[in-house]
Chains A and B, each alone.
Chain A
Amino acid sequence: MIQYIAIILFVLGLYGLLVNRNSIKMIISLNIMEIGLNLFIISIGFVYDGIAPIITSSAGSGGLIFVDPLPQALVLTAIVIGVGTTALALAIAKSIYVKHNSFDLNEVEETV
């Protein structure tokens, strides 16, 4: 169920990226795509009746069913890189506003 929601969230973000012309709305749609993608990657590793991959008692890990830890490590990296991308995109949008006085990308004219 969560996997269907994640795919629809990803496609919603892509639709928002295609339709909006305001640069802040485009960055928001990019973030929605990233949230949907991270949800999908973690849902690949889920096991019913599994526990979180942390050793809590000194009895060791024999006989316990764990959730897959590898997709969680990949999503940890992906979230931090998403922050870097968003920060740089917002700096570019602010520079465009200071120069052309509008966030709308249709009104920004390039003079080559």
Chain B
Amino acid sequence: MKNLFALFGSLLLALGIILALNNNTLFPSFGEADLTERVSGEYLTQDEIDALGSANIVTSIVVGYRGFDTLGEVTVLFISSLGVALLLGTSAKQKRLELNFKPNFMLRVGSRALFGFILLTGIYIILHGHLTPGGGFPGGVMIASAILLLYLADDQFRAKIKGFKILESISGSLYVIVGLLGMLLATYFLQNFLPVGTAGDLLSAGVIPVIYILIGLKVGSEISGIIDNFLTEEEAK
């Protein structure tokens, strides 16, 4: 009975959304968007690209024009990592979860060779965030994936979680300090105060690569902390 109500409610909602957006004058149809009437038309002119210096326009929006929203997103990730650590971590000593399968010697040794490649790909994607697609967020998650590989291949491995927590706190504080430096040396919070080169060089776009490096380190260490919390349990006395 409840299932029937849920089915009718969902079908009614889908029909309502489709009918409201179908022939609406305020909602352009698929593929016919006119960029000159939207605010993105100003971000794509040549003067704005030279003023900010980044070749990847999505990066210049995420870190340049809407940098304060990215600070809020980093805060939300911090809150979720804090919640996981409160729920699943204990103050007693911890050991790895005892599972049924044990990885063998080849897996334990061979995964260390792959660890370097994944780490290198993550660092490359973080550093070239203003030139190619990618940036701080996928690069940080790739670094955490390298640590996840080490956790999966060896059942006695534990990363140095204390070092990760210190790294995460320092990167988060440095993001706010870079913003405050922008307020000191220039006009407003998170303004560009380093020299802006030409778009396309590695050392261009002012303070944007610095912020992406800080975001990449922070996200990588946070997700590694979450994975460690999921795979450990309290040491039974």
By a beta-carbon cutoff of 8 Å, the part of chain A in contact with chain B is 1-4, 7-8, 11-12, 14-15, 18-19, 43-48, 52-56, 58, 60-62, 66, 68-70, 72-73, 76-77, 80-81, 83-85, 87-88, 90-92, 94-95
Contact = CB atoms under 8 A, between A and B. Distances in A.
A35 to B, nearest CB: 16
A42 B60 CA distance: 18
18 contacts: A7-B14, A11-B10, A15-B6, A46-B33, A47-B33, A54-B57, A58-B200, A62-B46, A66-B57, A68-B38, A68-B40, A70-B40, A70-B43, A80-B219, A90-B230, A91-B87, A91-B230, A95-B88
A69 B87 contact: no
B44 A18 contact: no
B143 to A, nearest CB: 15
Nearest to B50: A60
A48 B35 CA distance: 12
A15 B4 CA distance: 10
B interface, how many residues as a size bin? Answer: 35 or more
Contacts of A83: 77
Interface stretch (B65-73, B115-123, B178-186): B65-73
Contacts of A95: 87-88
Contacts of B230: 90-91, 94
Contacts of B200: 55, 58
A111 B70 CA distance: 41
Given A2-B30, A3-B30, A55-B49, A69 B61 contact: yes
A64 to B, nearest CB: 9
A69 B44 contact: yes
Given A53-B57, A69-B61, A76-B58, A4 B18 contact: yes
B43 A7 contact: no
Given A55-B199, A69-B57, A70-B40, A46 B31 contact: yes
B83 A77 contact: no
Contact of A18 (B6, B21, B32, B73): B6
B56 A54 contact: yes
A contact patch SS: helix
A56 B49 CA distance: 13
Interface of B: 2-3, 6-7, 9-11, 13-14, 17-18, 21, 30-33, 35, 38-40, 43-46, 49, 55-58, 61-62, 66, 69-70, 73, 76-77, 79-81, 83-84, 87-88, 132-133, 135, 137, 199-200, 219, 226, 229-230
A47 B31 contact: yes
Nearest to B63: A73
Nearest to A75: B58
A58 B200 CA distance: 8
Given A55-B49, A88-B83, A88-B84, A66 B62 contact: no
Contacts of B10: 11-12, 14-15, 18
Contacts of B135: 76
Given A11-B10, A15-B6, A46-B31, A70 B133 contact: no
A14 B137 contact: no
Contact of A53 (B18, B58, B84): B58
